[in-house]
Amino acid sequence: MQVKLKNIIKRALIAYLGALGTIGVVLAISIGHGSGWRPALAGLPLYVTIFAGITYQLFKEVRALKREEQQESKQ
């Protein structure tokens, strides 16, 4: 159980870092072109959707793991 939970959390952290990296690249390009950070806000709905998707998947996997653990303890 602990190893599986640790792997799930590790995957989620990598996904969150990837999402932050994506935002960082967009922000760096925007600033690099001299536009500042405000044009990067145009992608805010996409950023929120990405973070919500990662969080949803994390909760879904943790709940499935707990359900699996409960079924094993009943047997």
State mean pLDDT over 38-43: 89
- How many domains, the chain? 1
pLDDT of residue 37: 85
Domain that holds residue 26: 2-69
pLDDT band for 40, please (50, 70, 90 cuts): confident
Residue 9 · residue 22 · CB < 8 Å: no
State mean pLDDT over 9-14: 97
* More confident call, 19 vs 1: 19
- Asked, for residue 74, whether it belongs to a domain, the answer is no
- Asked, for residue 27, whether it belongs to a domain, the answer is yes
- Asked, for residue 75, whether it belongs to a domain, the answer is no
Distances (CA, A) of 38 to 18, 26, 28, 41, 42: 21, 11, 12, 5, 8
- Asked, for residue 56, whether it belongs to a domain, the answer is yes
pLDDT band for 68, please (50, 70, 90 cuts): very high
State mean pLDDT over 32-56: 93
- Asked, for residue 45, whether it belongs to a domain, the answer is yes
